[in-house]
Chains A and B, each alone.
Chain A
Amino acid sequence: MSRMRHAAAFAWVLAAVLALTACSDNTSALDAHGSEARHIAGLWWLMFGLAAGVYVVVAGFILVAAFRGRRREPSGSRLRPNTFIAVGGVVVPTLILLVLAVVTVTTTGALRKAGSDPLRIEVTGERWWWSVRYTGRAIVTANELHVPVGQQVQIGLDSDNVVHSFWVPELAGKVDTIPGQHNVLRFTAEKAGTYLGVCAEFCGIQHTHMGFRVIAESPGTFERWATAHASPPRQPASELAAQGQVRFQALPCAGCHTVRGTEARGTVGPDLTDFGSRATIGAGAVENTPENLGRWMQHAQSVKPGALMPNLTLSDNDVRAVVAYLESLR
């Protein structure tokens, strides 16, 4: 029957191994690339150590207590139950909990501390995508945040619809966007890379496809990106794309979407000013390829059922032209 104890111990080891190997992956909270996530991962390993110890000791007690009766005559116990309960149930747990209380308070303080000159970004949870505005810069985008490595980022979180939750496991813990309340999340990316984020609070039919990504890059690269994106996109280079721009404004598209510097000023759907540079369509529903974009425009409801983007009836020419136009926006 020590099999059971072994199984339990094995399970924990398995957890540890899997968590470690998961470092090759890119949504792991333990594969921290932000100072906040790193603090929390450190906290986790401390707790894991304590927890593993507690589990093995207590499970050991349980199994020994259950099986020792098989080997001995009754009434062979010198256990003093009151002392046993007081020590095991009160004294030892109190000590462990004190340790946890102290690290809770210190870590919480560290994570909530505001830096001196943070990059401010306003993020709004929409159904079911994220609107992104850079405070003090004329940059509006959706579902992708570019941030510089090494500088604290202060994200203001709002919603004018339902509750969402902004979570990039590799960078920081999550904070909800709550209608009627302005929340703040701070983190500092410590390594360049692309980090996937999700909505963590159930927010309706397409809660699943409300992904985003944080692209952390060197301060120089970030500044170049920011400068380029502060001005409206250049006029389309190809003839097809230019035709697409005209059609985009004539079709229902412009009623919901904005492309800065053009007649398209809708505010219902995501700003598409830099659409061509984004990795996905529909906040992570599908990869951003011309084929997928064409399908999205005509059959959004089968790509992302319930999305507020309707199925559009478009001619093949319109599809080709608008796809060329949107993919040219960078």
Chain B
Amino acid sequence: MATTDVRPEPLEAREELEEIWEDDPGVPGFFSTVDHKRIGKRYIYTCFIFFFVGGLIALVMRAQLAGPENTVLSAQAYNSLFTVHGTTMIFLFNTPVLAGFANYLLPMMIGTRDMAFPRLNAFSYWIFLFAGVFFYSSFLIGSPPDGGWFAYTPLTTKPFSPGVNMEFWGLGVAFVGISTTVGAVNFIVTTFKLRAPGMSLNRLPIFVWSMLVFSFMVIFAVPAVTLAAGLLELDRLFGTAFFAPGAGGSTLLYQHLFWFWGHPEVYILFVPATGMISAIIPVFARRPLAGYLWVAASLVAIGFMSFGVWVHHMFATGMPALALSFFAAVSLLIAIPSGVQFFAWIATMWQGRVRFSTPMLFALGFLLVFLLGGITGVMVAVLPFDWQATDSYFIVAHLHYVLNGAVVFPIFAALYFWLPKITGRMLGERLGRASFWTMFIGFNLAFFPMHILGFLGMPRRVYTYSSGLGWDSLNLLVSVGAFAFAFGVLLTLINFAVSMRRGALAPDNPWGADTLEWATSSPPPDFNFEAVPVVASRHPLWDQQPLPVAVSGDDDATRALGVPGAREHTTPVTGGLRAAPEATMHIPEPTVLPCILAAGLAVFVTGLLVQAVVVGVAGLVLGGLGLVWWAWRTGEQ
């Protein structure tokens, strides 16, 4: 394969290419884009809207719990809000925002021009958006879900939750699962088939490794929760008895199905978050990640082990000790791959000279809070201790140290790190630092005292408590911390608004990073790369200066490599260990079909909700039309 280290004449080529790759202008373009960057950006922004809503809900709950016997919220309202808070943060923020970052970054990190299935990618976003809107529309009719984000049966079955509230949860969760699963398939194929020539698996950026593990976990775990929610809805809407103990159904079956997804899910969130950290720390330590193979192997190990720990959510269900001990053992063992990553990050910093820019501050904050969340995670794996800790505020503390500390801190690190690439403007350092410190202090004020509240016997999911139990001052502290944390988040929001108006223009590679997404302009052109880079190192931008790019050949294998490939709206398909060019993939034109299919499914789900056959059939017809037309049009191309 011929390569050259001289970039093609940029300006001329760019203008021509931009015309070829441009979306339609205006509203049609909005609904028809299949550009992974626009979709990724949408994911991130939509997710952050859900994050702010979920966070505001948390603040209302903390106002209610700030003092004993408060009357800010009724019992019913509190139960709805904690249900919506948990569901939002897991299903509508944490999971999709990581997918959103990957959507934006992964194709550029591996040096290709789009995802393997760009239309499927658009479809997955629309499903996510419609599922979120569907879920929140429950507020419009005053019936938000109130059975807990985990929706345990029989509480959530018709006899005990007769209202329509839990339909929004059950149908919404089953619906959004489509989006996550479809996205995972897309990431896997993209990573295996679209890497830039020379990017062998042992040169993959760790973040890409983490998305690979994320995707495989999603494919095996998400069907379980879709099944749980689906069977629940069958019980509720059609009178089956999967979870009705009186009619031969099983209570624990639901819990097994839910947690068979639910615990891998924690790692589904955590693995890409650590992948972000593994991308950020080396850049600011100005050293390659120490123990690359250790870290990649740890991610894969976590992926496997995460399927052997789910029963530790069910230690108090009275199962036999022998069975429980197995899950306790795996829950202890899974600490090792996380420990390996910790020491790899420490070694990286140790060997380098750390610059303390905002992304690095968030990464350091992550290390300190995740260390604590990881340690308490080991504690709750210890079976007898969990019998005291489970369903107490100790768990609320632990889970927020993990899901808020070890996932949201990396997401903020990622925002400060990658947003300049995405928007083309730098975020302010001073506001960034202020935001970090406020969030870090607020976070620990809010969540550390919860450990103690757990020991003091405060159970989860209570809407109030009486004074005289020693819980008052700690709860006030927690509420103050929560508001401080929220203020820190607000500072980042302000930072973003200011940066969009008058932030400094971002150069191609503002942090001096090593991976390929920094080889394009900020923001990147629609086609990412005029000519695909040729990779000969794990750190192409550090080791290969200037970065060599490929030249198109005449055959199908190499035609898409160079500028002519971009001109033909194609990207190269590669394969084998060394990612050798194999074929040319045509990148589909923009289309509204994915949006139509997703809308059809949304109408169908709404039909189930309102139990109107006409609406359901209309949805299926619309979706079916979208699907058939989609398949037909794809064949034509």
Contacts and interface: CB of A to CB of B under 8 A. Distances in A.
B330 to A, nearest CB: 11
Contacts of B455: 19, 22, 28-30, 169
A18 B339 CA distance: 29
Contacts of A81: 290-291, 344, 347-348, 351
Given A108-B324, A163-B155, A198-B459, A93 B339 contact: yes
A242 interface: no
Contacts of A215: none
Q: Tell me if A's interface is mostly helix, strand, loop or mixed.
A: helix
Contacts of B160: 161-162, 204
Nearest to B364: A66
A15 interface: yes
25 contacts: A8-B372, A40-B384, A40-B385, A43-B385, A74-B353, A79-B350, A81-B347, A85-B290, A89-B343, A100-B381, A104-B325, A108-B324, A108-B325, A163-B152, A163-B251, A165-B316, A167-B392, A169-B456, A175-B318, A183-B318, A202-B79, A205-B75, A205-B76, A206-B75, A208-B463
B384 A37 contact: no
B538 to A, nearest CB: 15
Contact of A173 (B317, B343, B387): B387
A19 B349 contact: no
A30 to B, nearest CB: 5
Contacts of B371: 55, 58-59, 62
A169 B457 contact: yes
A84 B74 CA distance: 54
Given A19-B455, A181-B318, A107 B346 contact: no
A281 to B, nearest CB: 13
Contacts of B474: 18
Contacts of A37: 388
A306 interface: yes
Contacts of B250: 180
B318 A65 contact: no
A112 interface: yes
A184 interface: yes
A172 interface: yes
B143 interface: no
B357 interface: no
Contact count band on B: 35 or more
A197 to B, nearest CB: 9
Given A18-B452, A165-B391, A69 B79 contact: no
B155 A204 contact: yes
A59 B369 CA distance: 10
Contact of B339 (A88, A105, A199, A200): A88
Q: Tell me if B's interface is mostly helix, strand, loop or mixed.
A: helix
Interface string B450-465: 0110111111111111
A117 interface: no
A51 interface: yes
Given A97-B333, A100-B378, A165-B391, A65 B460 contact: no
Contacts of B469: 25-27, 196
Given A11-B444, A306-B75, A77 B350 contact: yes
B388 A205 contact: no
B470 A25 contact: yes
Nearest to B157: A162
What are the nearest 10 A-B pairs in CB distance? A173-B387, A27-B457, A180-B245, A69-B353, A183-B318, A89-B340, A81-B290, A88-B343, A65-B349, A200-B391
Contact of A28 (B340, B379, B456): B456
A225 interface: no
B245 to A, nearest CB: 3
B152 A201 contact: yes
Given A40-B384, A89-B294, A178 B457 contact: no
A61 B339 CA distance: 13
B375 A51 contact: yes
Contacts of B591: none
A288 B97 CA distance: 51
A85 B385 contact: no
B336 interface: yes
Given A25-B456, A163-B251, A208-B464, A85 B328 contact: no
A70 B351 CA distance: 12
Contacts of B332: 97, 100-101, 104
Interface string A59-103: 101101111111000100101011011001110111001001101
B343 A85 contact: yes
B347 A162 contact: no
Interface in A125-161: 157, 160-161
A93 to B, nearest CB: 4
B350 A68 contact: yes
B470 A103 contact: no
B456 A85 contact: no
B321 interface: yes
A202 B448 CA distance: 23
B252 interface: yes
B367 interface: yes
A108 B384 contact: yes
Nearest to B146: A205
B285 to A, nearest CB: 8
B148 A202 contact: yes
A207 interface: yes
Given A65-B349, A163-B154, A207-B461, A89 B384 contact: no
A314 interface: no
Given A90-B340, A104-B383, A200-B392, A84 B347 contact: yes
A180 B457 contact: no
Interface string A17-48: 01100100111111000000101100110010
A62 B324 contact: no
A125 to B, nearest CB: 12
Contacts of A92: 339
Contact of B336 (A44, A94, A108): A94
B75 A85 contact: no
Contact of A47 (B382, B391, B392): B382
Contacts of B325: 104-105, 108
Nearest to A172: B387
Contacts of A19: 452, 455
A58 B344 CA distance: 12
B459 A173 contact: no
A101 B324 CA distance: 12
A206 B133 CA distance: 29
A287 to B, nearest CB: 10
A79 to B, nearest CB: 5
A161 B457 contact: no
Contacts of B318: 157, 175-176, 178, 181, 183-184
B368 interface: yes
A89 B387 contact: no
Contacts of A79: 347, 350-351
A7 B378 CA distance: 22
B354 interface: yes
A204 B385 CA distance: 26
B335 interface: yes
A65 B456 CA distance: 37
A162 B76 CA distance: 17
Nearest to B78: A208
Nearest to A79: B350
Given A25-B469, A59-B368, A79-B351, A174 B384 contact: no
